Amino acid sequence: QWIFLSGEFVQKNEAKISVYDHGFLYGDGVFEGIRAYNGNIYRLNEHLVRLYESAKSIMLDIPYDFENMKELIAETVRKNGLRDAYVRVVVSRGVGNLGLDPKSCGTAQVVVIAEELALFPKELYETGLEIVSVATRRNRPDVLSPKVKSLNYLNNILVKMEANLANVPEALMMNNEGYVAEGSGDNIFLVKDKVLYTPPGYVGALEGITREAIIEIAEEEGYTIKEEPFTRHDVYVADEVFLTGTAAEVIAVVKVDGRVINDGMPGPETAYITRCFREKVATDGMQ
Ligand code: PLP
């Protein structure tokens, strides 16, 4: 497996970074998760816009321009002989001294990893997930916007750990007001009386690229979509619930905090939207 690191491709077992890299010391950096379907990189522009905007927000200079970065990502997928892949792009502040100050760091470190990945076991895409809501809150948007995909994912990791403790594969995070924000690394949608609901960005959800794709598909298919805050109660009484994300793709949720959603089976609208999404990703990409 070839990994792009420090300007060259190296084998996985040689892909090592310094313990003085501020990405390691402080989580100082940004990242993206991108998918390739059938050799096409899905919505690469959107992912790179988010990467460069995240970097700008934390004053991190990515040492490649947008077009070079596109080529690098495509090359990483090609070099590994992959058609369907999950691509992780990490840009860290780079190697510095032990102080917090990023001024001590040289150029940013860019890593690109491509591999096959299914976030959840295959059967869960058929049966749907059981999830719980957890105590960990989405970090507040007034200091560091949730739009920044930074390397500080501790909140999200705590959400995953709370899911593990409850023996379920994923969990839901609220914001400080108690409105539902999102999963550990995925957005949430509800279907109620044929209307689709998803929390707006200001609630604290990352406005995911898969979320955006689902909104577009739903609009094309004539659904009404409402981006508005909702609480756990609304989740419990929804007709259908599903999660979306680059890693998770689209997956139904059939039980939340012990409340069975509808009849406990993935619902027909979720199935239909998932089918449309699958058709789209096969043709929507670029490479
Ligand atoms: N929410 C969080 C916190 C994430 O990290 C991600 C993954 O990128 C998502 C939602 C889903 O976003 P996307 O569909 O762009 O992958």
Does 286 reside within a domain?
Answer: no
- CB 187 less than 6 A from any atom of ligand 1: yes
Is this structure's pTM higher than 0.90? yes
Give catalytic residues, as residue numbers. 149
pLDDT of residue 287: 42
What percent of the chain is predicted at pLDDT more than 90?
A: 93
- CB 139 less than 6 A from any atom of ligand 1: no
pLDDT of residue 265: 96
- pLDDT for residue 11 is more than 70: yes
Mean pLDDT of 256-284: 94
Q: Which atom of ligand 1 is nearest to the CA of 205?
A: 1
Query: What's the complex ipTM?
Result: 0.99
Question: Who contacts 142 (Cβ-Cβ below 8 Å, separation ≥6)?
Answer: none
DSSP letters spanning 78-111: HHTT-SSEEEEEEEE--B--SSS-GGG--SPEEE
Check whether residue 133 and residue 271 sit in a common domain.
yes
Check whether residue 86 and residue 208 sit in a common domain.
no
Q: Read off the CATH number of the domain in which 203 is found.
A: 3.20.10.10
- Give the count of domains, the chain: 2
Check whether residue 40 and residue 87 sit in a common domain.
yes
Check whether residue 261 and residue 152 sit in a common domain.
yes
Q: Which atom of ligand 1 is nearest to the CA of 212?
A: 14
- CB 186 less than 6 A from any atom of ligand 1: yes
Does 287 reside within a domain?
Answer: no
Neighbours of 214 (CB within 10 A): 25
d(CA 23, CA 30): 9
